Structure formats: C-alpha cells, structure tokens
Structure 1
Amino acid sequence: MLKYKPLFLSLFFSFFLITAGWSQVSKSQGLTTRHYQLIEAPTGPEKWDAWRNELRAWKDSTLRHLNYKDENYRNPDFKWASNAYSTFFLMANEKTLYDRNGNFDIRACLRKYEDEYGGVDVVVLWPTYPQLGFDDRTQFDFYRNLPGGINGLKKLSAELHAMGKKLMIAYNPWDNIARKQGIRDEDELLKMVKEVGADGVYLDTISIVDGFFDDLQKAKKGAIFQSEIPINPEALNLVHQSWLEVGWNEKYKNLEFGEVPHLVRNRWLEQKHMIYRLSRFSHEQSTLIQNAWVNGCGLVIWENVFGTVNPLNPRDKYYYKAILPVLRQYTPFFTEGEWTPLFPIKLNRVFASEWKLGTKTLWTVINRQEQGTVGKLFEQEYVKGMRYFDLISGAEILTTLEEGKVSIYADFKPKAIAGILGIPEDECSPEFYAFLKKQAVEFEKADFSTAFALPAHTLKPVNATEKYKVSLIPKEMSRIPVSADSVNMTFAFRQRECGFYPIGNYVDYSYSQTRNEITTGKVSLRLQPFAMDKKLVTNAQFAIFLKASGYKPEHPENFLKHWKDGKPSKGLENHPVTYVDLHDARAYAKWAKKRLPTEAEWQWAAQNGQEATAYPWGNALDSTLVNTGQWSATTPVTQFEKGKTKTGLYDMSGNVWQMTESERTDGYNDYCILRGGAWYINRASEWYADQGAQKTNFGAKYLLTWPGLDRCATVGFRCVADME
C-alpha cells in the first residue's frame, strides 16, 4: 500500500490553488508567507542594513518554525542538484536531437547549446505539450513513442550520464487520460524513472507532490523534483530545484524590473536550493540574468519554447556563457558562503552581493544602466598579498591603497556583469590562471549587441500532379470552382505557446497576447484549378494501395496501429484511415496520381468558395451533421449526407483532422497544419491540443517529431489533383 494519498488528488488540489489565482501572499499573516518569491528591497541604501537584519531574523524564525532540517541537501546523493546551474529544456521534436536515421543524437543536439550558453547540466526532455490531446494517448505514451521506446530513452539517459549530465522526465498533472484508462500516474512515473534511469521528475504547473519523494528514491537513488513554479518554504527539503519566471504572478510582475535588484526568497532561506531564472518569451533578458547573478541562481536554456523559437540576443547569450562557468567553479561560495545581499557600492546604479568563504571573498556585481560606468566600486581593509580579479573578464582589477584601505575600481559596459574575487596571492594556482585565461578569451570575442532575429518559416514546395481534363476527373473527386482572380481568405488559429507561423500581423507568441484567443490572418493568393476527393481516404482504400504498391514505411512504429493482422478491422473498412504520418499520406497520394491539398485549397473547398461559410453546410454549428464527440471513435466517411459542402465533400469538419501540404521548418521545428477538427474531445484541461469539429477557416499547428509519435488516432487525409 502507498503511504500517501493518490497522487492525482494531491496534484489536483495544488493545481486548483494555482489556477484559481491563489498565491502564498493570500496567507500574508503567516510567518512563512510574509514575503513573496521576490523580496523587495528599500530603494535607499541607508535602509539596507536594517532590511538585511530583518531578513536574517525572519529567516532564522522561519526555519525554526518549520523545524527545518537540510538533510536532503547535505546527503551526498543529492549534492549534484545544488551544483547544476543550467537546465536545458529540450523539446523532443527538436530537429538536431536526431540523426539522419531518426535515432537520438544527443551530443550533436547539445553541442550548440554547450558552445553558446556555457554548458548544460540538466536536460528536461519534453515530448508532450502542445501535441498532447490530439488523441487519447497518455503523456507516458508520448515518451514510449519516441525512437527506440523505453530502451531508446535508457540509452539516451546513459549517454547523458557519460557526459556528466542529468535527465529529467516531465510530469503533466493536468493530463487525466491515463487516469481515465485506470492507470495511476504515480505508478507510471516511478516505472519510467526506474526503467529509463532518469535523475528526477520535472513538475509541470505544480510545485510539490506530497508523500512521493521517498518512493522516488526507491525508483532511482538520488532522484529529485524540479518544479516549474516556486515552492512553499515548507517543501524546501523535498524539492531541490525550482523555476522562478518573470511575471508569474501578475500582481507582482513589476517587481522584477525595479532599479534595486530583488532578493529571491527561497534562495535566501536555503542557499543549496537551486533556483532557475528565465523569461521564456522575452527577447531581452538582461534584468533576469542580473537577478540570477546577484542571488547565485541558475538559468534555464530554452530557445525552442513548445514550438515557438526565441533565441537570446548576443549580449544575453554571452553573459550566460560567462557566469555559468563561474557559478560551477565557485559553487561553495553560493551554497555555503556568508551572503550579504546589496553590499554597499559607491557607483550609481551598480549593485552587488558579497559572498565570503574562508580566506576569499566573491562579489557578484551588476550595472543596471544601458550605458557604461567608470569609477570606484568599494573599499576593503588592506590584507597583505590579497589580489582582486574579475572572474567574468578574466582580468586583474585596478586597485589603490590609501590609509590602510584598498579601493577597487571598475570600468563597466552597459548592463555589465562582473564577478570580483578577492584571493590571497599564494592561492592563485595555475588552474586559477587557466580559468581566468579561458574567461578572458570569451570576453574578448563577446558580442554585446542586443539585436535579435527570429527564424524564417520555410514552406516545403508543393509538387503538382499531372493535370486532369475536366472530362477525366476521377469519379471519387469533385471539381472545385476557383476564381480567375486572386482570392482573399481568413485563416484562424488558437493562441497557444507553440505559436503558428508568420501570417498577417502575427509574428510569434508572447505574453502580450491572450492565451487561447482565436487569432486570424489575412491571406491573398491565386488558386489554380483543382479537384478534391469527396471522401477522406478510407482504411479499405489504403489497404488497396499497400497491396498494389508494396509500400512499407522506413519507420513502422504505430503504422496503422488500429488494424489487425495487417488488415482493417471488420466494420471499419469505410472509416477514415488514421495512424499514418505525412510521409505515408504523400506516398498514397503519389500512387493515386494525386497530392495533398494546400491549406488554401482545403479551406476554399470547405468554405464553399466565395460564400466563405463558417461550416461546410452553412454558418451555424449543427452537431447532427458532424462527428464532434458524440461517438467514441471515427464514423464512416459518408455518414453525414447533410453535412456536405455544395460540391459534395464529406467530413470537411469533424471525424478526423486532415493533413495539408503545409510542411514548414523554422530550423528547430518541422510542422504541418491540420484542418477540419476531429471526433476526440477531452475537456479536462485548457492545455490540450485543439479538439472537436472546427470551422472551415481554422488550422492547428502539428509538430512533427518522428513517425512513431506523429501517427495519431485522429489524423487522416484526403487528396487533390491539379486540373487544366
């Protein structure tokens, strides 16, 4: 018997508090909740001593109140968690993750991020959102559907360990699909961690799993939790790592951009607790990087944000690359050193933390201004043989001696970061100088530009078919009348973090846009004459194709998964074929001397041309004319006679999503656009992919990973042919 309440109930309660707008501040009278995640400092330096004294007293009282023991940080099994300063959020569909044969190539994938960001310590592998919910596969199925299944993940984990890195499996508590199938989330998680050899669980949208930590150790000794959201102080000994993202709580979002850098609460309470700072959609992140630096926090490396690409600007990348090696090299200062936040600095708009450890002192310094600054930073009592170096630039610091005090001077670039180390001369080892030299080389070649460039989205060319004469159009197709001139259409999609592609005024996803809002873009183009299949391609038709062509996919995983013994299940012959990917559909279309429709062709046909109807049959949704969740699976392709378009096309809304010839790449993601919607609906979460029957102008972005994952129970296709 498990010694804790069912995981999903615990998580549901936590998730409810978060999504309902509750925060720790709502308990402001409580000792542990007196301060929010970012503790605001007085703007006047004359008040800082009193502020620090109050915070030290609050920290001591809070830890006594909690009867806090840091045994899980002192335990050698977990020491790695306090020293891992960078988490790389890796989308499983990232192109560089795979070699040309479709197998994992994690070394090639990490090479860029290691070179540009200063190293990767932890990899969070993420195959689920935003794809999860197109059909009823569980989040755990998404991991198993990656190349090689569990064995492939086990090899990936072993290779990361050989590189000195850790692997985290993500958990999405909002996904209820496994639970609906009678599968317990906790069992699946523990099984996967054990089988894969993962180093922990990334908690999506939640901060703690009550009672689960001990069982996690049975699955993998030394495994930890990394939480996407800040944790309560009560959970400090159970959650070793957590994220702190800008603007997470709207009431307090402006704190991040105050002149005086704020103190990170959980880092102050437990210096060994690893906090990762990030702002996933910001194009300029200097403020967060500076905050991480003065708080001794780590950073999230995340360019491919659920399918929206957001690389950092050159200056931010450089500072990632500059500070991460220092954090790793001098981690005892940040985890065990005596920390003085807002150490007094003499230069205007320059701030610092002081970290003392043994005979050495380290100051993490930031220049808040978008302009350079020169002058005296601070003074120290003279100690014979003490030298001062900037660990960022690799240079020795200019100092002067007067009346027994050493003055340390600075010459900072705009928004500069410095790491000044006071070190006795007899401790300046060859290894120390080698580290400085490496930092100096990076500093000399650093690009401090703040310009950023979003990647272009390149559309794969469409191969035309042989042009049919009107009199020779196959009987299973309808001729679609087109205008002799250019046509104007409106494409629509739901605002999700995966974005879409540049269309109209839409460029990329950001927090300035309302999540789940329907966004539209205007398209103007000229259509060439074409004919379209009246029906979706059926299981029976696809079986004929296989027999006649001998087609076999290069990667057979999940190919026609719903068939039995290589044949369509009895009674499903006239249902749309599913569990095929884009390559499979194209192979069928080529054999049939057809092709897949473009988005514009598909929509023009579905909306009855110039009439631009919202649905194939008219402008109002009528659930009697479409398969939109009333059935538990697909329906025959000719079932909805009254749901046809005026040209006789069935199922242009509902039943199954339809692939279009819209494959694009942004260099990170390959994707295509699905049209029409499908039968499957699960209302348990807003985070699921688009579901149910859709309007004729609606498209869903479908990220392409590899065939075993791309093949889906709710995605099929129909074909078109070019005409004279």
Structure 2
Amino acid sequence: MKKFTQILMLLVALSVLFSCSSNQKNREEVTPPEGMVFIPAGDFSMGGKTVQADRDEFPRNEVELAGFFMDETEVTNRQFQAFVEATGYVTIAEKDIDWEVLKKGLPPETPKPADSLLKAGSLVFQATDGPVNLNYESQWWKWTVGANWRHPFGPGSNLEGKMDYPVVHIAYDDAKAYAKWAGKRLPTEAEWEWAAMGGLDDPVYPWGNVAVDNATDKANFWQGLFPYENTEADGYLNAAPVKSYAPNGYGLYDMAGNVWEWCQDKYHVEAYSQMSEAEQLVNPQGPRSSFDPMEPYVEKFVMRGGSFLCSDSYCSGYRVSRRMKSTRDSGFGHVGLRCVKDL
C-alpha cells in the first residue's frame, strides 16, 4: 500500500510538472501582433473595492476570462490618421448634428436649440475661474464648433508635434469603425478591468495600491483643485504622449488617466446585479440593454480608465473598477480608445 501511494504521488507530481511546462510553453509560443501584448486567461473579482466606489460598481462578481491581445497604448493620432487616409472616414464630431436624430434621445417637448449649436463640433474642457459646484459639468465643458480629432482644442489648433498623443474627440461609433478596420474590436468591460490590474492581486489602481497623492509619476491625471487649478505635478496639463509613464504588469501603458477608453458593453446602472443572476460568468459581454437613471431616454456605452481631468475630488477614474458612460455619438476632448484582438 505504501509503495502504491508513493507511485501515485509521483504520478501527480509529474502531471503538475507537465501541466506547468505546457502552460509556460503555450504562453511563450503566443506572439502578439505588432503593438499589442498578450493578456493571459484568468479569473478575478470584478467591481468596486474602496469607499470611493459608486453604486454601479456593485455587487462584485467572480468572472473568468479567456486570454486575448490588447493594444499596448491608446490609439494615437498617427494610427487614427492612417485609418482615415485609408478609408476616407469622417468622425461624428466632423458632421453637423441631425436634430431629428438627436431629439429621439431627449425628454419629450425638448425645444430645438439654435442652428449654430447644431454645427459640427465637440466638447472642449475649459478651466473655471474658481471653485464651482461639481454637480454641473456644463461649467467646464464648452461646446466648440470645429473641435474634432484634427483640431482637439477647436479652430486654430492642430496635431503638430502630437502624432504620438492619444486621439481624442472619438465617439463610440468612431471607435468601433477604427477597430473593425484594424482587424480588432473594442474590449469588454471585464477584459478591460482584468487587463488594467496587470497581474496584481486585486489592486485599486493599475500601478497597485499607492495613493494618488504619491503617484504623480505613475499616470496622467489632475493634481490640485479641480476644475480651476492644476499644478501639473505629473508633467502635463492635458493629455500626454503615450508611454510617458511606466506600463503595468502586462506591459500596458496609460491604463489609468490620459484619456477615457471606450468598451463594447452597453451601460446599465444595474449591470453587476444582472451579472450576479447569471449561472456562469465566463467572458461576459455586458447587459442586453442600456439604462442610466440620470438620462433614461438615451442608450449609453461604457468607458474605462479615467483621463487627465480625473481627481479624487471629482472623478477617481484611475481606479481599475471605475465606470463612466456616454452616448454613442458623444465626443469629448478627453475620450479615445484602445483595441483588443482574440487569440
């Protein structure tokens, strides 16, 4: 009996050794496409983990994911320009607004705005003169006719010296179009959060658990008093060139701050409760429908990662679990994208 037990233990040990060697070999054989990194399969607890977490980050769910590839950086102006030159694509911010389409997502009886406000443009950040009520975002977002990815701050601005900066003023539909052209897709929320963690054990931020006050060398976000005083302790007032800060454990840059990144999932305030009702959370694709109680008439999609405007006083978007949302035609001066690709 003792000899049989010893043989059994030896077989188990050999099996484990073979399995580990096989997994290591498979990982070594995975060659990511140019500009992408391999994100291994795994499982994790998805959702809020600090007192800063919002209600839409709960309840936490155990999620299992297959491996995939992810762009090592946010899509840059250089990359997006190549897409436009190859296809002739025109972004939403470069098109006049169709009032008949727009009003379908607004409360009934909403009056039509002046025609001058329906001209092609986008929202550009403008610092306030002093402290303001942070519940009213219109105080620092200015609708700017002529603002788009080519002119990020409006007419008179351009991309000179900024080809390696993340492209901005990108709406959800623009992001989907680029991803399709590149032979990729947008990440699911679950994929994005898993990748942002960089292999760490349930971190608050992509760089770990070092508080943001001591992390100005780790990401591009707002330091000082939002939205009127930015000390630029991280070196940048607005967006930074990609790879300006160290990557996370998977080799991904700017998974915190710089610009928000679109995910493929529809936004639903109760999405995580819906996930909890599922029998198996393997490669979840998000809710079937969208609902935001703040704007119940419009369909919204998820954004992740935060931007250069995030601060703890307003938006702790650099947390790996933080969710943001907007309509598919929304463009902002701090919104871009990053793509993934299936193995």
Shared fold per TM-score greater than 0.5:
yes
Match of 1:605 among 171, 190, 195: 195
CA contact (8 A) 2:77 2:167 kept: yes
List runs of 5+ in structure 1 lacking aligned partners. 1-468, 501-518
Partner of 2:334: 714
Q: Partners of 2:159 and 2:218 in 1: how far apart?
A: 25
CA contact (8 A) 1:628 1:693 kept: no
The yes-or-no answer on 1:546 pairing with 2:84 is: yes
The yes-or-no answer on 1:575 pairing with 2:165 is: yes
For residues 153-177 of structure 1, the C-alpha deviation after alignment (integer angstroms, 9 at most, x for no partner) is xxxxxxxxxxxxxxxxxxxxxxxxx
The yes-or-no answer on 1:488 pairing with 2:42 is: no
CA contact (8 A) 2:200 2:249 kept: no
Over 3 Å counting, the alpha-carbon distance change for 1:482 and 1:578 in structure 2 is same
Match of 2:178 among 588, 601, 623: 588
Structure 2 matches for 1:235-384, cutoff 5 A? none
The yes-or-no answer on 1:653 pairing with 2:246 is: no
Over 3 Å counting, the alpha-carbon distance change for 1:681 and 1:597 in structure 2 is closer
CA contact (8 A) 1:654 1:692 kept: no
**CA positional deviation for 1:613:** 2.0
Match of 2:301 among 642, 647, 672: 672
Paired residue type of 2:331: R
Match of 2:323 among 699, 717, 720: 699
Partner of 2:138: none
Over 3 Å counting, the alpha-carbon distance change for 1:605 and 1:570 in structure 2 is same
Report the secondary structure of 2:47's partner residue.
strand
**CA positional deviation for 1:492:** 6.0
Over 3 Å counting, the alpha-carbon distance change for 1:693 and 1:539 in structure 2 is same
Structure 2 matches for 1:317-466, cutoff 5 A? none
For residues 670-700 of structure 1, the C-alpha deviation after alignment (integer angstroms, 9 at most, x for no partner) is 11222111111589xx7xxx53652112222
CA contact (8 A) 2:39 2:68 kept: yes
CA contact (8 A) 2:69 2:341 kept: yes
Q: Partners of 1:563 and 1:549 in 2: how far apart?
A: 24
Over 3 Å counting, the alpha-carbon distance change for 1:474 and 1:624 in structure 2 is same
Over 3 Å counting, the alpha-carbon distance change for 1:679 and 1:540 in structure 2 is same
CA contact (8 A) 2:199 2:249 kept: no
Q: Partners of 1:598 and 1:655 in 2: how far apart?
A: 20
Match of 1:474 among 33, 40, 55: 33
Report the secondary structure of 1:543's partner residue.
helix
**CA positional deviation for 1:609:** 3.4
Over 3 Å counting, the alpha-carbon distance change for 1:681 and 1:603 in structure 2 is closer
List runs of 5+ in structure 2 lacking aligned partners. 1-27, 96-119, 122-147, 223-231, 268-289
Q: Partners of 2:207 and 2:311 in 1: how far apart?
A: 25
Paired residue type of 1:624: D
**CA positional deviation for 1:473:** 2.3
Paired residue type of 2:217: T
Identity, % of aligned positions? 32
Report the secondary structure of 1:721's partner residue.
strand
For residues 550-590 of structure 1, the C-alpha deviation after alignment (integer angstroms, 9 at most, x for no partner) is 21246623332417899951111111111010000111111
Match of 1:640 among 206, 223, 245: 245
Report the secondary structure of 2:46's partner residue.
strand
Q: Partners of 1:682 and 1:618 in 2: how far apart?
A: 17
For residues 485-537 of structure 1, the C-alpha deviation after alignment (integer angstroms, 9 at most, x for no partner) is x54323469677xx74xxxxxxxxxxxxxxxxxx6421223212201111010
Partner of 1:461: none
Q: Partners of 2:36 and 2:322 in 1: how far apart?
A: 23
Over 3 Å counting, the alpha-carbon distance change for 1:481 and 1:615 in structure 2 is same
CA contact (8 A) 1:659 1:716 kept: yes
Q: Decide which structure has the larger Cα Rg and report it.
A: 1
Over 3 Å counting, the alpha-carbon distance change for 1:553 and 1:529 in structure 2 is same
Paired residue type of 2:339: C
Over 3 Å counting, the alpha-carbon distance change for 1:551 and 1:697 in structure 2 is same
CA contact (8 A) 2:316 2:322 kept: no
CA contact (8 A) 1:543 1:568 kept: no
If the length of structure 2 is used for normalisation, what is the TM-score? 0.58
Which one has the bigger helix percentage? 1
Partner of 2:221: 628
Residue correspondences, number: 222
Paired residue type of 1:611: D
CA contact (8 A) 1:492 1:699 kept: no
CA contact (8 A) 1:480 1:529 kept: yes
Paired residue type of 2:326: L
Q: Partners of 1:536 and 1:634 in 2: how far apart?
A: 11
Partner of 1:271: none
Over 3 Å counting, the alpha-carbon distance change for 1:566 and 1:647 in structure 2 is farther
Q: With CA pairs under 8 Å and 6+ residues apart, which has the higher RCO, 1 or 2? A: 2
Q: Partners of 2:181 and 2:158 in 1: how far apart?
A: 20
Q: Partners of 2:260 and 2:29 in 1: how far apart?
A: 28
Paired residue type of 1:655: N
Paired residue type of 1:713: G
**CA positional deviation for 1:599:** 1.0
The yes-or-no answer on 1:615 pairing with 2:202 is: no
Q: Partners of 1:573 and 1:586 in 2: how far apart?
A: 21
Q: Partners of 1:585 and 1:594 in 2: how far apart?
A: 11
Q: Partners of 1:473 and 1:551 in 2: how far apart?
A: 27
Q: Partners of 2:29 and 2:187 in 1: how far apart?
A: 18
**CA positional deviation for 1:592:** 0.5
